[in-house]
Amino acid sequence: MSVQEGDAAPDFEMPASGGRTVSLAALKGKPFILYFYPKADTPGCTKEACAFQEALPQLGSIGLDVIGVSPDKIKPIDKFAEKYGLKFPLASDETKAVAEKYNTWVEKSMYGRKYMGMERSTFLVGADGKIKKMWRKVTVTGHAADVLKAAQSL
């Protein structure tokens, strides 16, 4: 079953960068951004993470937390976060259980070869725990600005 705007955000609990844990329960009553990215420290993912990092002051001023999610192990995620000074938590979804709940672990195709991979997607979740806006197959350039704009209208 596919997640839709207006649905309650699927539950999650994952280890995150800096020895943190992120969970839906801990965010109860707070709006947040959950974004899924394919791999730590690759060009597109770095650009996206840095754009969210730059938008943090504005997002923070409207009370929004940002959480990045990838299927990487926590060690490369920690290295990635340190290398770029990323303050928001980057979570490890090694089992892809959370990605599957959000329908972001999908069949992809490259050079005619099909494989399973993370679809770059972002979910804006309101303080009521419902998905207010979703972005699928995200293009990195300008994305954080689009998310910020949508978040400001919450």
- Extents of the domains making up the chain: 13-152
The Cα 5–Cα 33 span in angstroms is 14
Token pair listed for 144: 């954080």
* Four-residue CA torsion sign, 38, 18, 50, 33: positive
The helix/strand/coil state of 112 is: coil
- Per-residue pLDDT, 1: 63
**pLDDT category of residue 8 using cuts at 50, 70 and 90:** very high
Q: How far apart are CA 51 and CA 144, in angstroms?
A: 6
Q: What is the pTM of this model?
A: 0.96
Overall CATH class of domain 13-152: alpha beta
Residues 9, 14, 22, 45: which is the catalytic one? Answer: 45
Instruction: Summarize pLDDT for 50-88 with one digit per residue, the tens.
Output: 999 999 999 999 999 999 999 999 999 999 999 999 999
Residue 50 known to be catalytic: no
